[in-house]
Amino acid sequence: KEALIYATKTQVKYLFKESGLLKSIENAFLLEIRNNFIFYLKDDIINKSEIQMHELNFTISLVENNEEKIKSIIEKGELLGLSPVDKLIKYNKGELALEFITDLSYKFKLALSAKKYEDCLEYCTKLNEKEYYTQLCNVSIQECEVEVAEKCLVYLKEYKRLLMLLVCSKNVDKINNYIDLFDPNTKILALLILNDKDAFLSNFFGKNVSCDELIE
């Protein structure tokens, strides 16, 4: 397939479903492109300059869903920086780059786009930052990945949401695993849900008292 290559006031760019940068050249009049070289007119002189077509080839491979070509480009290290990660995610191909990326924040982003939530949790543990747990928590709740969401909420100490998650996912029996971590209000709600009236009243009044004693 053919792409449109054009010059702006400061750059040579391409257009193939989306636009991208090939080279920065100011005030150039584009004449010809041949064998990865551009010929352009500047200050009444014809100039020749090499351009890298890797990003354009990468974009074409994504649009054409050519996974072998995508892997080949990534393996050869032909893409500069980590900006192609966003394109991989956009075209739902993030998983292809996971083994070639070392930056944990980008591995997390790719794994999240590929719905590899257990891997995301592993990266969260290594990164140990709230923002990643929050992202994973929100997505995993939407996708009904209860165990992953549960671990995220424990890390975030969002115990009321954790309680609601366990109730909505019919994991009420697991409430007792966390009840000692809950703040007083959440603990009261948890005890009500567990239907342990004696424990609820004891917690509510701050002393040991049974239902029978209260009635009396």
Helices (H), ranges, 95-168: 104-113, 117-127, 130-142, 146-156, 159-168
Compute the mean pLDDT over every residue in the chain, rounded to the nearest whole number. Answer: 83
Average of per-residue pLDDT across 146-165: 95
pLDDT in tens, 107-155: 898 899 889 999 999 999 999 999 999 999 999 999 999 999 999 999 9
Helices (H), ranges, 6-66: 54-63
Calculate what percentage of the chain has a pLDDT beyond 70. 87
* Residue whose structure tokens are 């290290």: 77
What pLDDT was estimated at residue 158?
A: 95
Of 50, 97, 92, the C-alpha closest to 72 is 97
Q: 202, 208 in Cβ contact below 8 A?
A: yes
Q: Poorest-confidence range of 13-17, 73-77, 181-185? A: 73-77
pLDDT in tens, 48-79: 988 878 888 888 888 888 888 888 887 777 66
Biggest alpha carbon–alpha carbon distance for the chain:
104
- The reported pTM is 0.63
d(CA 11, CA 134): 39
The residue extents of the domains of the chain are 4-51, 64-100, 102-156, 174-215
User: From the CB of residue 216, how many other CB atoms can be counted at a distance below 10 Å?
Assistant: 6
